[in-house]
Amino acid sequence: MPNILTLIFCFIVVIISIPVVTFFVQIFMSLLPLSNKSENVKRTSSTTILIPAHNESTGITQTLRNIKAQLTADVKVLVVADNCNDDTATVARSHGVEVIERFHETKRGKGFALDFGIQHLAKNPPDIVLILDADCLLGENAISTLVNEAMQYKRPIQGLYLMHAKADSPLKIKIAAFAWAVKNWARPLGFHRLCLPCQLMGSGMAFPWQVISQVNLASGHIVEDMKLGVDLAKLKLAPRFCPAALITSEFPSSAEGIKTQRTRWEHGHIGMIVKEGLPLIMQSIQQANLNMLALALDMCVPPLALLVLIISTLSAVCMFIVILTQQLMPWSWIFLDLLLVATAVILAWYKFGRHIVKFSELLMVPLYVLAKVPLYIKFVFKRQSEWVRSKRDH
């Protein structure tokens, strides 16, 4: 093979090995015992739970009832009814919480709703702002745990945000739930054990007021939580993971909602990798900012299905080249990446996913990956760039 082809191949292997090694290290570290060093000291602080809500009248009641079970005198709730054409505001007010309404023809999306809420709170700011989606439920003591950690570390705190698949969900939803657990549980837990930060996950996030008041929430980005985490890392305020605070939700039950949600998340994530990945890595190295580097490396790990697709495709190509040239090196190096990814997925399933999918169902992942190829092709030719709410059936 020409030397130029060999050089190109080696460059590709080095590039793809960065997210592969990051992924493997995160999963491996997540298997180790976790020592809880958090202080069990109750800190007095004023807290506002900020809930952005767009047409959530049928689901927000359960969320507000769940929150009220944990409310104390120093915790208030503010619902931002954003561009609603239903009775979300009325339903929320019926539960005795403060509600403000926002309408705008073009500036639509969660980030704009959060910015509107923060501007409202600026008149009498609380010590801590806890952001929760309108379809989420809080685990036991989640509010106090998040607030205490935010007060202790003076940094954004991200709780363990999991999305569940219903018992009668089709296999593709169960596999999606497993992939979510890997992304939001196993990987951040692995970095947490290395004292490294995590990505913001969109719900179950606690911010000291002095932190959230200095960032731009109205970015209009379709993955505003990931964008916000990057902005915070640049300010040396990278989020800290708090696995003790559980936040849960369910995948949309409608096929349209699932498709919309998946497209928004994955197109937004891939777009962040393309636009911010390498520059953020280089910037973090130049500034000797370890937390920013960790967040950049984590961000550069593509969605699990795409990672498997890339590695599998490269492995197949290299297998063909090995057979054609009768040369193992350097073409066989990609097989090490394949082995690392496969090992990490199996370890993650054993620790975090056995209750979600059976091992026999896990073997169907290749079909799940192939089914998502059109989504990745769409990123190239018709990328989703605007925020669209996922349709839910409550």
CATH number of the domain bearing residue 73: 3.90.550.10
Residue-wise pLDDT for 196-213, tens only, equals 999 999 999 999 999 999
- Tokens describing residue 273: 């990798």
**pLDDT given for residue 169 in this prediction:** 85
| Poorest-pLDDT segment among 85-89, 152-156, 371-375 | 371-375
How many Cβ atoms are within 10 Å of 20's Cβ, its own excluded? Answer: 23
Say how far apart CA 237 and CA 29 lie, in whole Å.
23
Helix (H) or strand (E) holding 241: strand 240-250
295 close to 16: Cβ distance less than 8 angstroms = no
349 close to 282: Cβ distance less than 8 angstroms = no
Residue 218's pLDDT band, with cuts at 50, 70 and 90, is confident
% of the chain surpassing 90 pLDDT: 59
- Higher-pLDDT residue of 17 and 3 is 17
What sign has the CA pseudo-torsion 232, 237, 241, 245?
A: negative
Q: Which of 367, 275, 387, 259 has the alpha carbon at shortest distance from 312?
A: 367
**pLDDT given for residue 384 in this prediction:** 65
| Helical pair 373-381 and 255-272, crossing angle rounded to 10 deg | 60
The mean pLDDT of the chain is 89
Q: Is residue 393 part of a domain?
A: no
Residue 149's pLDDT band, with cuts at 50, 70 and 90, is very high
Q: Is residue 345 part of a domain?
A: no
Residues 6+ apart with CB under 8 A from 131: 49, 50, 51, 52, 114, 203, 204, 205, 206, 207
- Find the mean pLDDT for residues 82-101: 95
Whether pLDDT at 368 is above 80: yes
Q: Is residue 377 part of a domain?
A: no
Q: Is residue 360 part of a domain?
A: no
What dihedral angle (degrees, nearest 10) is formed by the CA atoms of 27, 29, 33, 35? Answer: -120
Q: Is residue 179 part of a domain?
A: no
Residue-wise pLDDT for 269-326, tens only, equals 898 898 888 899 999 999 999 999 999 999 999 998 899 999 999 888 888 888 887 8
| Total of domains in the chain | 1
**pLDDT given for residue 193 in this prediction:** 95
Q: Is residue 163 part of a domain?
A: yes
Plot region of 83 (φ>0 → left; ψ -120 to 50 → alpha; else → beta): left
State which of 246-250, 251-255, 360-364 shows the largest mean pLDDT.
Answer: 246-250
Q: Is residue 227 part of a domain?
A: yes
Owning domain of residue 73: 47-171+198-256
DSSP string for residues in 299-349: HTS--HHHHHHHHHHHHHHHHHHHHHH---TTTTHHHHHHHHHHHHHHHHI
pTM recorded for the entire structure: 0.90
- Tokens describing residue 63: 């969320």
Q: Is residue 140 part of a domain?
A: yes
- Tokens describing residue 97: 């919480």
Residue-wise pLDDT for 5-35, tens only, equals 778 888 888 889 999 999 999 999 999 987 6
- Tokens describing residue 246: 């559980």
Q: Which of 262, 205, 277, 267 has the alpha carbon at shortest distance from 237?
A: 205
DSSP string for residues in 30-79: HTSPPP-----------EEEEEEESS-TTTHHHHHHHHHTT--TTEEEEE
- Find the mean pLDDT for residues 83-99: 94
- Find the mean pLDDT for residues 44-55: 92
Q: Which of 206, 209, 205 has the alpha carbon at shortest distance from 147?
A: 206
**pLDDT given for residue 44 in this prediction:** 66
